[in-house]
A = this chain, B = another copy of it.
Amino acid sequence: MRAKKYFFCTLKEKPQHTDTISHQLMLRAGMIRKLASGIYTWLPTGLRVLEKVKKIIREELNKIDAIEIYLPILQPSYLWEMSERYNTYGKELLKITDRRNHSYVLGPTHEEVMTYLMKYEVQSYKELPIILYQIQTKFRDEIRPRCGVMRSKEFIMKDAYSFHTNYNSLQKTYYKIYKAYLRIFQRMKIHVKEIKADNGVMGGNISHEFHAMTNNGDNNIIFSERSYDTAILLNTEKTNYADLYKNSHNEKKNKTHFKTLLMQSSCLIDNSIKMILVKNNVNSFIGLLINHNYIINKTKLAKLKIIAKPITLATKEEIYDLTGSNPEFIGPIGLDIPLIADRSVIQMKNFVIGANINNKYFYNINWKEDLQLPEIADITNIISNNSYYNKIEKFYIKQSIEIGHIFQLEKKYSKKINAMFLTHNGDNKFLHMGCYGIGITRIIAAIIEQNYDNKGIIWNSLLAPFQVAILPINLQQSITVKNISESLYLKLQENNIEVIFDDRNLRPGVMFSEIELIGIPHCIIISERNIKNNNIEYKSRMNNDNQIIPINNIINFLVNKISKNSEQEPVCCTI
């Protein structure tokens, strides 16, 4: 591409109203332009990167025999009524009515449409398992679109859907796709962390999220210092949780909603307090607060007058009636019951405690500030047979961007939409199903968050809008510079290298800044001074490697650099 014929759209100044580095750099580098809140145009530079991301995803999915299809954006509402998501999906669902008063949703995801397709296209067990995928624009009516393409109304997703005769087959494919995801992110050089996650509105049991670790993100992850494997997803979606909270609980608790924590019940953090409900001597309930590494010592507890004898734990039903949640998520905040705190919790700071909402905890809770210290007693033993819990474990929080989410949906949608197959024995059974998303537009923001410096974006050769920039000095003044530049431009193209040739005759400083801002990984600078010695100056955007290369070697040098990209290029991680 000759720069004169290209549509750069770069911005010299930092644009206003950007809330993340990636948002700012994508605007400045001429990748995107805002049309309305959460709605962006992809300019040529952005689209080139987008297509490369899609290409890698396609290649890896095709390798595992996934087949691409293209599904409608307009989805008839009755399908969403069948799946019972039309009213429960939430306000993010964009609804539209046509001139004949038929109702549709603008697809935020395609489980219904895919299951409906399978209902008619798959007859027998012989045609299963199958993985289909789509790379398309989807929609979500975000209440507060932000972070550029990270949280937008209109975004591009890769969504894959698999169908199976049984759960074993689903599980096998699920982990095949899990591994394909890791290969995809590895090829893109994204520093990623996979986390066992909540299935939420999608349904099913098992799911995993893939998070790109960044300095700017819309998620938080807790890591234990011991291992990545105890990573826990924190959700700092304040408004969202406040809403949830308001709907299901009383006013009192709003005070602390900003500390709400979403995490897996199976991944408790050392610094958390659990509450146990027992009957008191007036036949109502009392909450016992203990360090979650400890257990109640019934003998010690029985000594307290206030406790009913024999010691009677609240049943699961009683707990639900009182708190609205399952036992593992209960906590004192907002509950109007007497409390006793074990000595083990007095010194705790910034602790985690149940929020009385399933799967949710508060974090960063402190005595006095968030919760009055109740009566203290000695009612516990340390669990001594579990060495893990005896160690004091530190954890830290990092920001992240969710770029993938995979789900074992099992029979949720096939039952609702009545999608069956004929078994081996001639029986009709419901299809098992998995679904697997990658946020393509979010990936690009994530990669930028991981790869930038004060000059701009730093692309690797695989994702760069152009792999090489030819930057001539005084192009119009020197016929030698012009000839060498033109000849290299042709030769690089012949070698299938994507090259931008800056033929605009700009001042060198202006030209360098723009190419650095866009993040072209390999630059060759053509100056009369070097040509005299039969040399070319090479500059790497990734590691500031600066070399003088003989003109005759430059093509081989670049071909070599680029073809070895996936193995040798350093991962330039900003975080």
Contacts and interface: CB of A to CB of B under 8 A. Distances in A.
Interface of A: 5-7, 9, 33, 35-37, 39-44, 46-47, 50, 65, 67-76, 91, 94-96, 98-100, 102, 104, 106, 113, 116-117, 120-121, 130, 132, 137, 139, 141, 143, 153-154
Contacts of A121: 7, 9, 33
B70 A154 contact: no
A463 to B, nearest CB: 17
B143 A99 contact: yes
Contacts of A96: 94-96, 106
Contacts of A42: 69-71
B7 A40 contact: no
Given A5-B65, A7-B67, A72 B39 contact: yes
9 contacts: A7-B132, A33-B117, A35-B117, A36-B74, A41-B117, A42-B71, A73-B139, A94-B96, A99-B141
Given A7-B121, A96-B106, A132-B7, A154 B68 contact: no
Contacts of A102: 36-37
B130 A7 contact: yes
A143 B154 CA distance: 26
Contact of A41 (B7, B35, B104, B113): B113
Contacts of A47: 68-70
Contact of A154 (B33, B69, B72): B72
Question: Interface on chain A toward B: helix, strand, loop, or mixed SS?
Answer: mixed
Nearest to A95: B96
Contacts of A104: 36
Contact of A44 (B37, B67, B72): B67
Contacts of A94: 96, 98
A72 B141 contact: no
Q: How many subunits of this chain does the assembly comprise? A: 2
B41 A73 contact: no
Contacts of A41: 69-72, 113, 117
Nearest to A120: B33
Contacts of A35: 71-72, 75-76, 113, 116-117
A98 B96 CA distance: 10
Contacts of A67: 5-7, 44
B74 A153 contact: yes
Contacts of A91: 99
A76 B73 CA distance: 18
Given A67-B6, A96-B106, A132-B7, A73 B73 contact: yes
A96 B96 CA distance: 6
Contacts of A6: 67
Contacts of A39: 72, 74, 76
7 closest Cβ contacts across the A-B interface?
Answer: A42-B70, A96-B96, A36-B76, A39-B72, A5-B65, A91-B99, A44-B67
Contacts of A72: 35-36, 39-41, 154
A90 to B, nearest CB: 10
A52 to B, nearest CB: 14
Contact of A141 (B36, B40, B71, B98): B98
Contacts of A117: 33, 35, 41
Contacts of A143: 99-100
A7 B161 CA distance: 14
A71 B74 CA distance: 18
Nearest to A79: B35
A421 to B, nearest CB: 14
A33 B118 CA distance: 11
A262 to B, nearest CB: 23
Contact of A139 (B37, B74, B99, B139): B74
Contacts of A71: 35, 41-42
Contacts of A141: 98-99
Contacts of A68: 44, 47
Nearest to A98: B141
Nearest to A143: B99
A104 B106 CA distance: 13
Given A5-B65, A121-B7, A137 B73 contact: yes
Nearest to A156: B70
Given A9-B121, A65-B5, A121-B7, A70 B50 contact: yes
A109 to B, nearest CB: 15
Contacts of A37: 102
Contact of A153 (B65, B98, B153): B98
A59 to B, nearest CB: 15
A74 B5 contact: no
Contacts of A98: 94, 141, 153
Contacts of A154: 72-74
Given A5-B67, A7-B132, A99-B143, 8 more contacts: A7-B67, A35-B72, A41-B117, A44-B69, A74-B154, A94-B98, A95-B96, A98-B141
Contacts of A74: 36, 39, 139, 153-154
Contacts of A5: 65, 67
Nearest to A504: B126
Contacts of A106: 96, 106
A17 to B, nearest CB: 15
A68 B139 CA distance: 22
